[in-house]
Structure 1
């Protein structure tokens, strides 16, 4: 989808939500839903940052680390990809206290969702690095670069461009997965919507607003990642031209 279309759709989604909320007293729901939206955004941003860090560490460790580190990285990736995000969330929040480690609901949410998405992201990073032309590796060897320097200056900048689209999808999946945190008493957007629905029974109005809010946030993520992709691609092109 072109950037202009994404921007227009995002604006329309938010405008539709505001117009929808202006009728029949819907504005009564807005303050609570906005508070829940802010919690959802915090979890999404925190989880995304953790996911990126975990993905790069796990991918590089699996590809270039010594055997024990490779095994640990592989175990992390397979465990978090092969089990439910909901079970991981419950394990961190309900099981860890029985082992003497107590985490706040927010910390549990960010850790569970960030590590879950990071496991998928590790495969994105690994695939993007493997997708860089072998000629680029051979050039770094000819220039007598160390592996770390070659990755930092030659390989990762090129691989980064290929990572951006799938990372955009993963961030949207992370946003949608934040709805799970309502099950550990976090007052996110979904939790607030459920509370309001139980109190007012205005299901259509409340969950239509929630749908539009999630849509608007996901479109903003898409817009941001597309803009980042354009900047990164332009940087690679300028670097090759020089």
Structure 2
């Protein structure tokens, strides 16, 4: 049982912040990588590749993340895929993030002027070099505000992981409420912790956007 004191209760809820951040970072890392891959697949000239990517995106955007989470945690083990609660949470959130993120990446890539691609062709640059050195860096600037919003949504959305027993912030707060009957301290601390974490995410992306934009301005002036 937890002691019904303000400091112990607050510390118990704060202990869930580390799990929330870990779940967010891992899911965004995997989901972000998946976003780029799927966006490129949707722009492929191969019909089958485009179709697979489209089905993936539409499936995860059209179904509830709750159902996806429960499928990963309760159904996959019956199919021989044993996952811990944390792994199931990462899998569901990452796949969901990848679906939404791919549309952000695809839109940003389309926003790059066609003349940039023509210049790469004129310079006889390969596809990989053109993408990594010219197209993607410019698209990155356009997508950062949306990626920032998506990251914040993922951070807040990790609260669903409490449904399968992952001890993130909401799980810890609910545990405090159940064991002590105290509701004010745990849920007020949840508000504060989410506000602090989302503010840090927004600040970090804003700084990154400014740094990249200033870098490109410097390149343009030098050119």
What range describes the TM-score normalised by the shorter chain of this pair? over 0.9
Structure 1 unaligned spans of 5+: 1-23
Task: Say how many residue pairs are matched.
Answer: 219
State whether structure 2 residue 206 is matched by structure 1 residue 226: yes
State whether structure 2 residue 156 is matched by structure 1 residue 179: no
State whether structure 2 residue 121 is matched by structure 1 residue 121: no
1:33-81, Cα deviation, whole Å (9 max, x unpaired) = 1221111111011111011101001001111252222221111111111
Aligned residue in 2 for 1:93: 73
The offset of 1:135, in angstroms, is 1.4
The offset of 1:28, in angstroms, is 1.7
State whether structure 2 residue 135 is matched by structure 1 residue 169: no
Quickly say closer, same or farther: Cα 1:190–1:65, change in 2 above 3 A: farther
Task: Work out the CA distance in 1 between the residues paired with 2:196 and 2:45.
Answer: 40
1:134-193, Cα deviation, whole Å (9 max, x unpaired) = 111111121122222211111111000011100000001101111100110111110010
Structure 2 unaligned spans of 5+: none
State whether structure 2 residue 60 is matched by structure 1 residue 54: no
- 1:66-77 aligned within 5 A: 66-77=46-57
RMSD: 1.3
Quickly say closer, same or farther: Cα 1:30–1:65, change in 2 above 3 A: farther
Aligned residue in 2 for 1:41: 21
Task: Work out the CA distance in 2 between the residues paired with 1:115 and 1:226.
Answer: 25
**What SS does the aligned partner of 1:64 have?**
coil
Quickly say closer, same or farther: Cα 1:57–1:65, change in 2 above 3 A: farther
Quickly say closer, same or farther: Cα 1:100–1:65, change in 2 above 3 A: farther
Quickly say closer, same or farther: Cα 1:153–1:196, change in 2 above 3 A: same
Give the alignment's TM-score, normalised by structure 2: 0.94
Task: Work out the CA distance in 2 between the residues paired with 1:213 and 1:65.
Answer: 46
